[in-house]
């Protein structure tokens, strides 16, 4: 059976100014599942930080023309082939020049009773739909069927999705995009649970640590589901050495533990790509400062992954 890619979406979106970056989304409504791809005008220096017990990635190039996020677990890595082929076609198939594309996936199968996954055709469609300055938020693209907070059972998790945040400081552009399909819950800046671990009967959300302690006192089992992943991209135009770029990624990935709790567990497969187009110099921002700013944007991006979230607990 042939499925028709959907590439036009309405709803909450982040609008931003980063001409060197294009973003394309494509989905199969029949899944539902989808992919989100990030295209760079020129090959961009890349570093990847992989944590947790179940990551799924492909290629992990040190320089990339594109980064792909997709649903469909390991089968969804086929999107990378579609994106690679579509870029090569756009370039006119030059001899000896190939698109470098890296990718990572989330497992969205446990929320649906079919085997539909983001494939070669969906990757091609996402490239054709790519545009600058626009990133749909929530249950779109790779986050089409993302959930979070199922620590004590999938009946207590909630829909999340993809989120993004952007800031410009002088000539430096800095953006963070994330797909939250996490084992843990989403916390706001006051430490309150705003997504995940929600009692389906009362609607009350509880902090996982509080519930864990209660279950331990009552000698109740803690059976945790698997198949969880948070995918993140940090992208800047500021010139960074490969070492500085690697440490930027590590700093931001660690800081995400403030927004998602628990994070980097054996049940997760968290992947963060840090990318620079190396277009500008900015002496007012060193690597540590850039990492601090990106870490705050990452928290904003996680909160934006559930744009309709409520802070009731």
Q: Which residues are catalytic?
A: 229
Structure tokens of 62? 């040190």
Q: How far is CA 201 from CA 132, 183, 236, 250, 270, in A?
A: 43, 21, 44, 39, 30
Mark out the alpha helices in the chain (DSSP H runs): 78-90, 120-128, 208-217, 242-255, 287-304
**Distance (Å, rounded) from C-alpha 161 to C-alpha 13?**
12
The H or E element containing residue 47 is strand 33-52
3-state secondary structure (DSSP) of residue 260: strand
**Distance (Å, rounded) from C-alpha 2 to C-alpha 15?**
33
Q: Is the Cα torsion angle 10, 235, 177, 266 positive or negative in sign?
A: positive
**Distance (Å, rounded) from C-alpha 224 to C-alpha 211?**
13
Structure tokens of 179? 């797909």
Instruction: Answer whether the bond into residue 135 is a cis peptide, omega within 30°.
Output: no
CB of 210 within 8 A of CB of 191?
Answer: no
Q: Among candidates 93, 99, 90, which has minimal Cα distance to 66?
A: 99
Instruction: Answer whether the bond into residue 189 is a cis peptide, omega within 30°.
Output: no
């Amino acid at each position: 059976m042939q499925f028709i890619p959907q590439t036009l979406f309405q709803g909450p979106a982040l609008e931003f100014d980063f001409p060197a970056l294009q973003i394309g989304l494509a989905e199969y409504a029949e899944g539902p599942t989808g992919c989100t791809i990030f295209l760079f005008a020129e090959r961009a220096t890349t570093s990847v930080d992989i944590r947790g017990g179940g990551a799924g990635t492909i290629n992990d190039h040190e320089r990339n023309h594109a980064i792909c996020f997709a649903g469909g677990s390991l089968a969804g890595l086929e999107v990378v082939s579609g994106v690679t082929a579509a870029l090569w076609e756009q370039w006119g198939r030059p001899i000896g020049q190939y698109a470098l594309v890296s990718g990572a996936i989330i497992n969205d199968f446990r929320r649906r009773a079919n085997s539909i996954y983001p494939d070669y055709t969906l990757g091609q469609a996402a490239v054709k739909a790519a545009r600058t300055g626009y990133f749909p938020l929530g249950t779109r693209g790779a986050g089409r069927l993302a959930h979070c907070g199922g620590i004590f059972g999938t009946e207590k998790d909630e829909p999340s999705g993809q989120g993004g945040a952007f800031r410009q400081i002088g000539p430096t552009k800095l953006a963070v995009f994330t797909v939250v399909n996490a084992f843990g819950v989403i916390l706001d800046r006051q430490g309150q649970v705003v997504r995940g671990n929600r009692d389906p009967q009362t609607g009350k959300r509880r902090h996982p640590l509080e519930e864990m302690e209660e279950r331990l006192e009552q000698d109740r089992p803690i059976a945790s589901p698997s198949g969880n992943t948070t995918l993140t991209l940090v992208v800047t135009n500021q010139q960074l050495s490969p070492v500085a770029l690697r440490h930027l990624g590590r700093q931001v990935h660690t800081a995400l533990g403030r927004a998602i709790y628990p994070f980097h567990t054996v049940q997760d497969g968290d992947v963060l790509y840090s990318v620079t187009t190396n277009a500008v110099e900015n002496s007012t921002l060193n690597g540590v400062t850039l990492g601090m700013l990106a870490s705050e944007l990452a928290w904003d991006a996680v909160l934006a992954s559930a744009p309709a979230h409520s802070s009731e607990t």
